[in-house]
Amino acid sequence: MSIQNILEIAVKEAVSSLFSAQLPNVEFQPTRKDFEGDITVVVFSMLRVVKGNPVQIGQDVGEYLLREVEEVAAFNVVKGFLNLVLKDDFYITSFNKIMKNDSFGFVAASNDAVLVEYSSPNTNKPLHLGHIRNNLLGYAVAEILKAAGKKVYKTQIINDRGIHICKSMLAWQRFGNGETPDSTGLKGDKLVGNYYVEFNTAYKKEIDQMIADGVDAKVAEKEAPILLEAQKMLQKWEAGDEAIVSLWKKMNAWVYDGFDTTYKNLGVDFDKLYYESQTYLLGKEFVQEGLNKKVFEQDPDGSVWCDLTDEGLDRKIVLRSDGTAVYMTQDIGTAIQRVKDFSDVNGMVYTVGNEQDYHFKVLFLILKKLGFNWADQLHHLSYGMVDLPSGKMKSREGTVVDADDLMVEMTNTAASISEELGKLDDYTQEEKQGLHKMIGLGALKYYILKVDPKKRILFNPEESVDFQGNTGPFIQYTYARIQSILRKANDTGVVWSTDVDASLELHLKEKELIKQIQLFPSTIQLAAENYSPALVANYVYDLVKEFNSFYQQVSILGEDNFEKKVFRIQLSNRVATIIQAGFKLLGIEVPERM
């Protein structure tokens, strides 16, 4: 039983004994740094059932807890807050249990399965900075849900059809001269992306020429010859034209190879891939079912709609008058198909930018109306865009920050800073390169994941690689520092796997560090409930700050008292394992030396 559970029972007993009242719940909060105490009981919330002065109520409850609860050493009351001081042996006993728990903070996997979708790129361009945030969020949320006890399937749906794909295909036919990734040395996704830009360059030129010839601008945009040709190509693809489908397969294969390289470098993976070319017809079969259930309604022109005006939304089309599906229909069908593919799934998380907030409100509501029980467990992991100091990115103009290029830039930035610090003289070149990549990617991932998903990010590469402050490299450096301490401890032959003596008197900084360690399990659960890797990221930063304060104020290896020295080594080791475990949830590696 946790200390909070013990105290909650005791506080309720105190209120019942002292005031003959029944307290439905007890409100706790961490004790403010400027007051003595470890945990605070909020007395104000008791005033609903206990009448009187909150300071006196707090005093009476505090005296009761001091008498009846073994773990309470002292208390003080500040206005309506009862601050409780816990005995040192409580913290030592707690720490001894944590030391023996190799999976501390993690819950064993259950049969409660959830599917997490992320990435979901278009095959007409390489992944960019926006995709990086999407991938990092989706991957981290999947890992955090696993740590919280869920069974998780990772997936993506690849947008491999549509007019945007045909634009790249047509531009390659016109301007490519048969070049391939092998002949150019370019990754396939970059090569295809270049032709998407080429198409739009040619398209703009044709529009400008048509306008110069006296054609109305809006007409020119719709009737530029190259756009009409791309539309014909799409029609041929949909009709199964052999040559067009063959070209589509070839160029998509180039892109998939490129994506795989980027995913590997970024450190993300998937359990199953879905392709829009295979899912765009899904969902049509459920339109008739929706009509039968009166969830949908058919207009005189034959189009089918879902009227959501009673729920504060609008009418949403699910089938055009010509019988073709829309994106909403496809998403309905894909969700249902996923539950067929993974029969134990009873929830899904969609990692998609906040510009699609409305779409997912509608999708989830329609699935509920269709009667699927799992529709109550659908979540849109909505996130803000990533901006650069230079402004927004635009794919069609080729002004995006390429994901591969950014990872290389981050590695190079880490290399230049590391060289300036001059701490890698005894490293081989290969070791240096591995460390630079670890630091660079750690900086990138942490900078993005420490921000609440709902917020926009202004990404500054140089700021992210700072070795001071709330950054990945700062945390990685602290981990490496602890590893150095542990290596020296091993060299001296100190055995530090034994229990800590419960009679040991704790330094304030030792107690504060244990308190921070104790928060790890609840942080994982809270991060899972809120689908927020930022909670884990900032917890690890707070743990590192607490350790560095401890490191600066107490001696570890230089401590004369043997029991205290062993305990401090054990405490340092546990901090390191939690840093490593927390960062692993975020997809970030930690170095043994730095």
Q: Same structural domain for residues 80 and 220? A: no
Distance CA(231)–CA(216), nearest Å, equals: 20
Residue 433 lies in a domain: yes
Residue 417 confidence class, pLDDT cut points 50, 70, 90: confident
Residue 340 lies in a domain: no
- Domain extent at residue 24: 3-86
Q: Same structural domain for residues 77 and 175? A: no
The answer to whether the CB of 530 falls within 8 A of the CB of 447 is no
548 CB contacts (<8 Å, ≥6 apart)?
478
The answer to whether the CB of 570 falls within 8 A of the CB of 99 is yes
The pLDDT tens digits of the residues spanning 404-413 come to 999 999 999 8
Q: Is the pLDDT of residue 158 over 80?
A: yes
φ and ψ at 467, to 5 degrees? -90, 10
Residue 487 lies in a domain: yes
Domain C-terminal end among 188, 222, 255: 255
Residue 491 confidence class, pLDDT cut points 50, 70, 90: confident
Q: Same structural domain for residues 456 and 581? A: yes
Return the percentage of the chain with pLDDT > 70, whole number.
Answer: 97
Residue 459's pLDDT is: 84
Residue 367 confidence class, pLDDT cut points 50, 70, 90: very high
Q: How far is CA 87 from the centre of its chain?
A: 37
Q: Same structural domain for residues 172 and 39? A: no
Q: Same structural domain for residues 69 and 185? A: no
Tokens of 177: 């001269």
Residue 328's pLDDT is: 94
Q: Same structural domain for residues 542 and 427? A: yes
Q: What is the DSSP letter of 507?
A: P
Residue 398 confidence class, pLDDT cut points 50, 70, 90: very low
Q: What is the CATH number of the domain that holds 14?
A: 3.30.1360.70
Return the percentage of the chain with pLDDT > 90, whole number.
Answer: 82
Residue 396's pLDDT is: 46
The pLDDT tens digits of the residues spanning 502-558 come to 889 999 999 999 999 999 999 999 999 999 999 999 999 999 999 999 999 999 999
Burial of 166 per CB tally in 10 Å (0-12, 13-18, 19+): buried
Q: Same structural domain for residues 189 and 71? A: no
Residue 495's pLDDT is: 67
| DSSP result, 511-540 | HHHHHHHHTHHHHHHHHHHHT-HHHHHHHH
Q: Is the pLDDT of residue 395 over 60?
A: no
Residue 321 lies in a domain: no
The pLDDT tens digits of the residues spanning 290-343 come to 999 999 999 999 999 999 999 999 999 999 998 888 999 999 999 999 999 999
Element (H, E) at 382: strand 378-383
Q: Same structural domain for residues 436 and 534? A: yes
Per DSSP, what are the bridge partners of residue 153?
Answer: 115
The pLDDT tens digits of the residues spanning 208-245 come to 999 999 999 999 999 999 999 999 999 999 899 999 99
Residue 391's pLDDT is: 52
Residue 75's pLDDT is: 97
Residue 147's pLDDT is: 98
Q: Same structural domain for residues 169 and 75? A: no
Q: What is the CATH number of the domain that holds 548?
A: 1.10.730.10
Residue 343 lies in a domain: no
Q: Same structural domain for residues 442 and 569? A: yes
When divided into structural domains, the chain yields a total of 3
Domain C-terminal end among 31, 61, 86: 86
**Mean pLDDT across the stretch 19-28?**
95
Residue 69 lies in a domain: yes
Element (H, E) at 496: none
Residue 393's pLDDT is: 43
Residue 399's pLDDT is: 55
Q: Same structural domain for residues 82 and 229? A: no
Task: Output the CA angle 251-256-258, nearest 5 degrees.
Answer: 100
Residue 390's pLDDT is: 64
The pLDDT tens digits of the residues spanning 64-91 come to 999 999 999 999 999 999 999 999 999 9
Residue 267 lies in a domain: no
Q: Same structural domain for residues 535 and 429? A: yes
Quick check: helix, strand or coil at residue 546?
Answer: helix
Domain C-terminal end among 32, 51, 86: 86
Residue 301 lies in a domain: no
